[in-house]
Every structure is written in structure tokens, then in C-alpha cells.
Amino acid sequence: MAQNEKKPNIFQKTKHWWRETIGELRKVTWPTTQEALALTRIVLIVTVIMSVLLGLMDFVFSRLVGLLVS
């Protein structure tokens, strides 16, 4: 680094970061409303199924541990 070059201050760093972030966000392929709704439904369905499965497994294992302890 040459002597006459100044180190960027926090405001210059923030401005540079913000410009890079905006540039990257412009490259993103955003989903359509229909795609977003479909993916949201999938996430909700998987979440419900997993919570039921984990709840059942918790119930079964707690009963098994209860039988072993008593």
C-alpha cells in the first residue's frame, strides 16, 4: 500500500458492503408468487408431519423408559 493511500473508514466500508450486497441481490432469481406459495405449503406440511412423528417417538420412548425404571 502506497503511503498516500488512506485506509478506508467505517463509512466507506459500509458503503462498499452495501453496494456489493445490492449487486448480489440483483443476481438472485426470485420465485414467483405461485412458486413461493407452493414451497410454503410444502414446508408447512413437512413441519406438521415431522412434529407428529417426533411427538409419537417421544411418547413411545417415554413409555419404554417408564417401563424400564418402574
Query: How many separate helices (H) and strands (E) can be counted in the chain?
Result: 2, 0
Tell me the residue type at 34. Answer: Q
Which residue ranges make up each domain of the chain? 31-70
Question: What would the pLDDT profile of 36-60 be if each residue is shown by its tens digit?
Answer: 999 999 999 999 999 999 999 999 9
The shares of helix, strand and coil residues in the chain, as percent rounded to the nearest 5, are: 80, 0, 20
- Give the pLDDT score at 4: 63
pLDDT band at 14 (very low <50, low <70, confident <90, very high): very high
Residues 12, 56: Cα–Cα separation, whole Å? 55
For residues 21, 22, 26, 29, the Cα torsion angle rounded to the nearest 10 degrees is 50
